[in-house]
Structure 1
Amino acid sequence: MVDRGATPASGALPDDWPARPERCLALNHVGTFDWDLVSGRLHLDPVALGILGLPPGEFHGNVTDLAVRVPRADGARLDALVSRALKDGSESYGAYHRVRCPDGLRWAYTQGRIERDAAGRPCRILGILREANEELRLPDRPGESNGDRRHQTTVVETTTAALAHARTVQDVIDFFKDSRAVEHLGSDLLVLGLVESGRVHLVAEGPSEHFIPGTRYTRIDDDFPMSEVIRTMTPRFIESREEWARCYPWLWERIKGIGISSGAYLPLIAQARPIGALGLLYREARGFTRQERNLFIALSSSLAQSIARAMLFDQEHDLAEGLQQAMLPRRIPEVPGAQIAVRYRSARMGRDIGGDWYDVVPLPGGRVAAVIGDVQGHDTHASAVMGQLRIVLRAYAAEGHSPGTVMARASAFLHELDTDRFATCSYAEADLTTGSVQLVRAGHIDPLLRHADGTSRRLPVAGGLPLGLSAEFGRLDYPVTTVELEPGETLMMFTDGLVEQPGADLDEGIRQLAGLVQEGPEDPHDLADRLCEVVEERVGEDDMAILLLRRQGTVARPGGRLQQHIAPADPEALSAARHMIRTAVRAWGVRDRADDIELAADELATNALLHTDGAAVVTIRMVPGAGRRLRVEVEDRSSALPRRREPGESGVSGRGLLLVDRLADVWGVESRGSGKSVWCEFDLGPAPDDSGARRSP
């Protein structure tokens, strides 16, 4: 019986037995490397340098020195593999790749072990590099190797993953225009063409400096490989320069100077029709194995589905945006004394239509109404509700109702539609001759005011419930806030898509917007374009509408009609009414009677609030006809008529109508349906431009 563990008696052991690891590795053509990730230094032993074909004097310890020895496609794949292993916590990695040697391309295998510090960060890679030609048995056709199959499979997986997030056709085109696309696809050059109106449009090529003149648009029946694969819907593989010159002489004469030797042209087919073609070009002559061809077909199928999905997204998005635009006003009217700019942008991340809208309604007496709003939801129902709501708001404004009444009636209308949608809205009625602006807000974002010097601020506007909800809960009172818009100032109204971003604070968004407005151009149209550019740079999930109204410098002229709604126990509304009257009187050039008019109007409003249960509406306007007469009216819902009484020496009330009687030239009371209107008029004398004519006998 033989003892297998015994030493042979016929001879002594070698002097170097057992052999050292370095000798074992060298005899089996296995080199080692040590890569310090902190400093970036790389050490290769002499065997590893020999496998890579690098003389010791040409290697200086930098990874970039290896670029000349590893084909670019293999190097990109190896870099991606190492990066993924470093990031996902792997302990090791291994990959087959090709190496350029004097006698041609040979296969090698690299394996590395990753060391990490106490915090888990990778700091060092220790590994081996060995020849792999013999184990893969590929002295003639490395394309048939397991390593190449792994490489081609990685190409399909990497490209499919990169295009998974492409939503639009432009996203797909941008991917192929990126210089890294050729690395993902493992080629040296690429071309992508899409079928458009019976022609092939070359939409991407890389690198761009290799574009061939005369190939941007080609016919499908032309003698080009891209046209051929679209026409036949079958791939075309070109394996040598001779085949290029024989089959496509015109094209070959223009590409032979850039060193192309082989290529694979793949049809992009979706729903049984060709939508384009992809060409992968290689500087080295190569044969395409059956395995490669099958993988390329799988790649083209995946690309075609990505492009078809992007085309469908673009079509649906264009249809939705077109329908939304059709619901908005076709044009914005020219309004004397104002510059108005409007913009609408649909959400980049959505393809449904939304309920954002804007409108501008010219009103008598140099006034204009500006509306902006947003119906809840992003679908055709939201758009339909928006269209109806825009029309009724326009109608109520044109009928001459006060801003608070316009909002209240619009809310009641939306509630009567029996829809589950509500809407936020801001309504502004501006008198461009006086600069007085009455603002009403229904659950919407406060507007911004940009001053003539460029500074901007948020306008706090008293608000009510969103349209529809206020009618449902019986809270139809909408307070009115009055502000003064000086010449050169701009009122900015917008929907929340301009300032809201997922995960961001609304106040911070408004602060950023105020900064953009302050830095932006003065012209409203240029400013609106600038804001749209900023919005389009980010990805959002909501539509956006903007309305800018800039008051131009105009000569004040009387003739306007201003109103202020005053709710019970609302001192701010009463103060706003005083401000409105003061602004109008100053703008209409009757400063000498300003105190009388303001005091009389205040007494009428206070009397209505004290002696009635409901709200009051204060109106100031010029009375048409000969001369100049200013009329102040206060309407309330009580049918009880006021009476003038003598308060006595110690009385604290009863002086209101007495003051009105003394200050105004005439006053009276008119019944208004279920309520009444108490009014007074002031004779302002002849207008300055016709005073001479009145003094003539």
Structure 2
Amino acid sequence: MADRAAGAMSLPDDWPAHPDLRLSLNHMGTFDWDLDNGLLHLDQSALDVFDVTAEEFDGRPQSLALRVPHGEAARLDGLVTQALRSGSSSYGAYFRIRCRDGSLRWTHTQGAVRRDVRGRPHRIIGIVRDATQELADSSARIELDAERRRQTSVVESTTAALAHARTVQDVIDVLKDSHGLERLGATSMVMGLLEAGRIHLVAEGPEGSFVPGTRYTRVDEQYPMSEVIRTLAPRFIESKEDFAESYPRLWPHVRGLGITSAAYMPLIAQARPIGALGLLYSDKTGFTSEERNLLVALGSSIAQSLQRAVLFEQEHDLAEGLQQAMLPRRIPSVPGAQIAVRYRSARLGRDIGGDWYDVIPLPGGRVGAVIGDVQGHDTHAAAVMGQLRIVLRAYAAEGHTPATVMARASVFLHELDTDRFATCVYAEADPTTGVVQVVRAGHMDPLRLGADGETRRVTVSGGMPLGLSAEFGRLEYPVATIELDPGETLLLYTDGLVERPGTDLDDGLRALTGLIRNGPRNLQLLADRLCEESDERAGEDDVALLLLRRHGVAAAHAGGRLQQHVAQNDPEALASARHMIWAAVRAWGAAERADEIELAADELITNALMHTDGGAIVTARVLPGVERRLRVEVEDRSTALPRRRDAGESGVSGRGLMLVDRLADIWGVESRGSGKCVWCEFAVSDPVAAERAPA
């Protein structure tokens, strides 16, 4: 007993320790909450737990909102309310507080509910303590890890969605539509791209939040986007006060949006800034280190996607510009016909293809219409297309027949230094007579549109695609001849107009037929409607189309077209050709110039038979217009051009072209591929107009 007493005499003077000391050393504090007056007392240890000073706390529970996040406060308030209403004498809860440095810390509270004699709660006395270490391996810690995983998944899912973005607008849509920003707690976002030393605002915050004068800003201006691009470091604005003090020019415009904090990240790709991203928050102050790292990772992913999108748009614009430069700049007017052409590049895919159209004026009022598609979807396809279009145009203008035009174009493509082939349709139309000759090289059949909207397919036997037919020695291209009535339309198109993902080509043709049937009658509006439908599908192939409509001209004004083949040493065929000219002159109201026309025609036919090998083709027709003209053409197989010369000493040879020059109003020579055509024209009166003239 003596030894025990002696030991007691050696205890410290402050033993046992005061309760306040015991609590503070264990990071615990006490509180006393008067429910009737709404006053809350916190001792110094409790103030330390909440990381607030005595000057910052005014005795009101609402003052702790700075440290208790909104979601945690709502959960804690619900738990206390339930304890008070259920008659419980105590409650306990874990919750998180936000420290001054922005980090979150787990805290535990235990409260004893004091009630009056009627059981009404009027006071809560309890403790608060730092529970960080306690929850290191508890379910609360697991919940915190789950929150981190959730935030990480937001970045991962957003990155996965950005992998499919092709344009800058796609990137913006992914960020707005994926709800990733919402899951990160952001209210809205702003985005700017760095262009020629200025920041171009491409995505605004909430609707109606645009700040005048910020569409384009300089990098040296006092704006958060400018700052992060200059410093290449993120800027986290943790409070309203921070925002107002750091960016006084911007804050007055942001104040009314309820923004309490913001995070701005530079968008850096290949070690250089390409723009900046800003995330705006409400009901949030400060950022934890985890949140900062997460947002920096998100900014890096967005920067890579944005750079790909910018490069895609630049390359697509370059390729599309090349394509457009190689298409005809203007479409010539064709008497007796109306033409509409359209081209649309693919809305998907990096490059454009080799689709093209062309309209080629031909002698005698005829016109050549071309639609084609070079294999592939890249700039090489567009370059091959440009060469092939020019060559095909040259062959047609030389006067070759449609089949010969196709064959020679195929040989050219085969000999070109390329492995590409092309499909094509070439139609040679005479608006005066309505006769159209069509050849097809591995392409889709044209469509014939009636004046009533009824659509029929023009069946053309066709040959192999250009390039392949020359490679395999199969240069035969059958010619299909149709006759367009006044008001009828011929539609040439590439497969991008009818191809639909997941459907047969016939289904696409049926859909196109229905679209034409219900579409506008105006040719230009119809062409626009067809392209709009293609744009809505956003297909992976280009679209080119050509519409040629024959005007409804009266037969009397159109005259007609007569043709006769005259073989050498065939007197009967020569006589028949002369009779044809005689009949045409009288039938078409040109009797007043009959002698001149017949004599000039006879001279041209005789020259062809005497000075060339093989026969001749004689054609007579009336050209419509303000001034009606009767045209006589004599075509032969010789490439030697005739020339006007003085008659020889005998006075027999050399007078032919001199007579034609004196008799005809105009004459000329045209190359026709393997031969030539010598023609002359005579102005003749209009018999219909003569009948209507007053006596």
TM class by smaller structure: 0.5 to 0.7
Is this contact kept in 2: 1:260–1:282, CA < 8 A?
A: yes
The counterpart of 2:74, out of the listed 82, 92, 101, is 101
Q: State the distance in 2 between where 1:238 and 1:629 align.
A: 85
Alignment of 1:169-208 (within 5 A): 169-178=168-177, 180=179, 182-208=181-207
Could you tell me which residue of structure 2 aligns to residue 53 of structure 1? none
Could you tell me which residue of structure 1 aligns to residue 486 of structure 2? 487
Alignment of 1:225-240 (within 5 A): 225-240=224-239
How far the C-alpha of 1:484 sits from its partner, in A, is 2.1
SS at match of 1:428: strand
Is this contact kept in 2: 1:448–1:493, CA < 8 A?
A: yes
Q: State the distance in 2 between where 1:362 and 1:245 align.
A: 70
Q: Which amino acid in structure 2 is aligned with residue 534 of structure 1?
A: E
Aligned: 1:277 with 2:245: no
Give the unaligned 5+ runs of structure 2: 1-69, 80-91, 98-103, 108-129, 133-139, 566-579, 590-614, 638-670, 677-683
How far the C-alpha of 1:171 sits from its partner, in A, is 0.9
Q: Which range moved further: 219-228 or 357-366? A: 219-228
Cα shift readout 1:598-638 (whole Å, capped 9, x = no counterpart): xxxxxxxxxxxxxxxxxx998854399x9968889999xxx
TM-score where L is the length of structure 2: 0.62
Q: State the distance in 1 between where 2:277 and 2:564 align.
A: 67
How far the C-alpha of 1:300 sits from its partner, in A, is 0.5
Aligned: 1:138 with 2:106: yes
Alignment of 1:61-210 (within 5 A): 98=71, 101=74, 133=95, 138-139=106-107, 145-178=144-177, 180=179, 182-210=181-209
Q: State the distance in 1 between where 2:354 and 2:419 align.
A: 14
Aligned: 1:287 with 2:260: no
Cα shift readout 1:119-146 (whole Å, capped 9, x = no counterpart): xxxxxxxxxxx97638995249999943
How far the C-alpha of 1:287 sits from its partner, in A, is 1.8
Is this contact kept in 1: 2:235–2:264, CA < 8 A?
A: yes
Give the unaligned 5+ runs of structure 1: 1-96, 107-129, 566-580, 591-615, 636-671, 678-684, 693-697
Q: State the distance in 2 between where 1:132 and 1:459 align.
A: 80
Q: Which amino acid in structure 1 is aligned with residue 388 of structure 2?
A: L
Alignment of 1:488-503 (within 5 A): 488-503=487-502
Is this contact kept in 1: 2:158–2:178, CA < 8 A?
A: no
Q: Which amino acid in structure 1 is aligned with residue 274 of structure 2?
A: I
Alignment of 1:250-399 (within 5 A): 250-399=249-398
Alignment of 1:604-615 (within 5 A): none
Structure 1 residues 385 and 250, CA, compared in 2 at 3 Å: closer, same or farther? closer
Is this contact kept in 1: 2:76–2:95, CA < 8 A?
A: no
Structure 1 residues 184 and 327, CA, compared in 2 at 3 Å: closer, same or farther? farther
How far the C-alpha of 1:264 sits from its partner, in A, is 0.7
Is this contact kept in 1: 2:346–2:541, CA < 8 A?
A: yes
Q: State the distance in 1 between where 2:549 and 2:391 align.
A: 25
Structure 1 residues 482 and 138, CA, compared in 2 at 3 Å: closer, same or farther? same
Larger Rg over CA atoms? 2
Cα shift readout 1:582-611 (whole Å, capped 9, x = no counterpart): xxx9xx969xxxxxxxxxxxxxxxxxxxxx
Q: State the distance in 2 between where 1:320 and 1:133 align.
A: 59
Q: Which amino acid in structure 1 is aligned with residue 264 of structure 2?
A: Y
How far the C-alpha of 1:509 sits from its partner, in A, is 0.9
Q: State the distance in 1 between where 2:152 and 2:618 align.
A: 78
Structure 1 residues 525 and 558, CA, compared in 2 at 3 Å: closer, same or farther? closer
Is this contact kept in 1: 2:260–2:281, CA < 8 A?
A: yes
Q: State the distance in 2 between where 1:516 and 1:690 align.
A: 41
Is this contact kept in 2: 1:497–1:540, CA < 8 A?
A: yes
Q: State the distance in 2 between where 1:332 and 1:548 align.
A: 12
Could you tell me which residue of structure 2 aligns to residue 8 of structure 1? none
Identity of aligned residues (%): 66
Alignment of 1:469-548 (within 5 A): 469-548=468-547
Is this contact kept in 2: 1:628–1:686, CA < 8 A?
A: no
Q: State the distance in 1 between where 2:551 and 2:282 align.
A: 65
Could you tell me which residue of structure 1 aligns to residue 44 of structure 2? none
Is this contact kept in 2: 1:138–1:145, CA < 8 A?
A: no
How far the C-alpha of 1:461 sits from its partner, in A, is 2.0
Q: State the distance in 1 between where 2:162 and 2:441 align.
A: 43
TM-score where L is the length of structure 1: 0.62
Q: State the distance in 2 between where 1:298 and 1:177 align.
A: 18
Q: State the distance in 2 between where 1:691 and 1:408 align.
A: 47
Q: State the distance in 1 between where 2:410 and 2:689 align.
A: 47
SS at match of 1:537: helix
Structure 1 residues 307 and 617, CA, compared in 2 at 3 Å: closer, same or farther? farther
How far the C-alpha of 1:439 sits from its partner, in A, is 1.1
Q: Which amino acid in structure 1 is aligned with residue 517 of structure 2?
A: Q
Is this contact kept in 2: 1:177–1:206, CA < 8 A?
A: no
Q: State the distance in 1 between where 2:369 and 2:93 align.
A: 77
How far the C-alpha of 1:210 sits from its partner, in A, is 3.4
Q: State the distance in 1 between where 2:281 and 2:201 align.
A: 19
Q: Which range moved further: 556-565 or 438-447? A: 556-565
SS at match of 2:250: helix
Structure 1 residues 319 and 686, CA, compared in 2 at 3 Å: closer, same or farther? closer
How far the C-alpha of 1:457 sits from its partner, in A, is 2.4
Structure 1 residues 627 and 230, CA, compared in 2 at 3 Å: closer, same or farther? closer
Is this contact kept in 2: 1:431–1:560, CA < 8 A?
A: no
Could you tell me which residue of structure 1 aligns to residue 13 of structure 2? none
Q: State the distance in 2 between where 1:411 and 1:617 align.
A: 28
Cα shift readout 1:167-190 (whole Å, capped 9, x = no counterpart): 111211223444835325431222
Cα shift readout 1:193-243 (whole Å, capped 9, x = no counterpart): 222333222222343243334433332222221221122211111111111
Q: State the distance in 1 between where 2:204 and 2:689 align.
A: 76
SS at match of 2:164: coil
Could you tell me which residue of structure 1 aligns to residue 568 of structure 2? none
Cα shift readout 1:343-382 (whole Å, capped 9, x = no counterpart): 2222222223422111110112221110111122223433
Cα shift readout 1:263-319 (whole Å, capped 9, x = no counterpart): 111111112222111111111232212222122111111100000010011111111
Is this contact kept in 2: 1:190–1:279, CA < 8 A?
A: yes
Could you tell me which residue of structure 2 aligns to residue 114 of structure 1? none
Q: State the distance in 2 between where 1:348 and 1:131 align.
A: 57
How far the C-alpha of 1:477 sits from its partner, in A, is 2.4
How far the C-alpha of 1:252 sits from its partner, in A, is 1.9
Aligned-residue Cα RMSD (Å) equals 4.1
How far the C-alpha of 1:560 sits from its partner, in A, is 7.9
Could you tell me which residue of structure 1 aligns to residue 113 of structure 2? none
Q: State the distance in 1 between where 2:488 and 2:180 align.
A: 50
Cα shift readout 1:419-473 (whole Å, capped 9, x = no counterpart): 4322111011111112221111111101112222223222222212222222333
Could you tell me which residue of structure 1 aligns to residue 406 of structure 2? 407
Structure 1 residues 428 and 521, CA, compared in 2 at 3 Å: closer, same or farther? same
Alignment of 1:458-473 (within 5 A): 458-473=457-472
SS at match of 1:365: helix
Q: State the distance in 2 between where 1:296 and 1:535 align.
A: 40
Q: Which amino acid in structure 2 is aligned with residue 365 of structure 1?
A: G
Q: State the distance in 2 between where 1:687 and 1:515 align.
A: 42
How far the C-alpha of 1:493 sits from its partner, in A, is 0.6
Could you tell me which residue of structure 2 aligns to residue 40 of structure 1? none
Structure 1 residues 103 and 690, CA, compared in 2 at 3 Å: closer, same or farther? closer
SS at match of 2:204: strand
